Structure 1
Amino acid sequence: MATAIFGAGCFWGVEAFFERFEGITATRVGYTGGNVENPSYEQVKTGKTGHAEAIRLQYDPTVITYAELVNIFFEAHDPTSRNKQGIDEGHQYRSAIFYAGDSQKYIAEQKIKEWDEKGIFKRPIVTEVVEAGVFYEAEEYHQKYIHKNGSVACGIG
């Protein structure tokens, strides 16, 4: 299995979106990219920790490639919106690809260029491509949140 980490706004909806695809073997939502060790949801949602709400995917690369995951990531949110997804605003909701290794970095950068050149979006992609650091799992009540609670709007709570 391989791992991918993406920040695409509210992690509840992003997790449910990715789970639909064959080859994704596990998901965990959490926080990464910030400067506070083991942050809580209450801390991250203030925007003061530097962390992004993110999803860590375990996937089978013989079934789904990293490039395909990046394509799905661009379909799951608006990568042209800086620090805002839907009703959620702040750096913690930024669009980010947290890469592990040169191969993931290269693929992410090439996919951004490819999607920008396609002209699918009216504005340029502002997704950050950042080396993955420590991923802190969110509290258990956030894991599989939509499965547990039904469809709820992000930004509540």
Structure 2
Amino acid sequence: MEQLATFGAGCFWGVEALFAEQQGVTSTTVGYMGGHTPRVTYNDICQGDTGHAEVVQICFNDSVITYSQLLQLFWQNHNPTTPNQQGPDFGTQYRSVVFYHDQSQQQQAVEMRQTLNNMGLFKAPVITIIEAANQYHLAEDYHQQYLLKRGKASCSL
């Protein structure tokens, strides 16, 4: 069955590339979620006052890849212990966040975050925000499949 997942883990270009290559992921788009303004652009979120995060929205076939597997990839491929920072990128738009689409996703995310903290896999507590998905704003076309369009597998730092 086709489902939706939405994650914020820093700059959305690399996050999208990671999820797009997974078997069972049928499509990905990048955009903005979690803010308080009804309309938003990339330039707006770069100002840091709209409250939006850069996110990747993932359509996936849960008979091929589960939401739990997507969560594991999410936490393994960014630093979920830093507020509003991933690598060289700073600002609320780069926060670590899971936007859940139903109660099952919420429960899985909360339980997995707790398990990660209990296991002590990170040098600091996992502070990933887990909140209900709200209005998704599709990012400008030039951001979609940004790395793929440029023949790159990842962002260079």
Does the alignment reach a TM-score above 0.5? yes
CA distance in 2 between partners of 1:47 and 1:153 (Å):
23
Structure 1 residues 55-79: Cα deviation after superposition (integer angstroms, max 9, x where no partner)? 0000000011111111010012100
> 1:34 maps to which residue?
35
Q: Equivalent residue of 1:69, what SS?
A: helix
CA distance in 2 between partners of 1:36 and 1:12 (Å):
23
Offset, 1:153: 3.9
CA distance in 1 between partners of 2:63 and 2:97 (Å):
24
> 1:72 maps to which residue?
73
| 2:27 is the counterpart of 1:22 | no
1:48-127 maps to which residues of 2 (within 5 A)?
48-127=49-128
Question: Partner letter of residue 7 of structure 1?
Answer: G
| 2:10 is the counterpart of 1:9 | yes
TM-score (norm 1): 0.94
> What is the count of residue pairs matched by the alignment?
154
Offset, 1:10: 0.2
Question: Partner letter of residue 81 of structure 1?
Answer: T
CA distance in 2 between partners of 1:75 and 1:17 (Å):
11
Question: Partner letter of residue 86 of structure 1?
Answer: G
Offset, 1:152: 3.9
Moved more, 65-74 or 113-122: 113-122
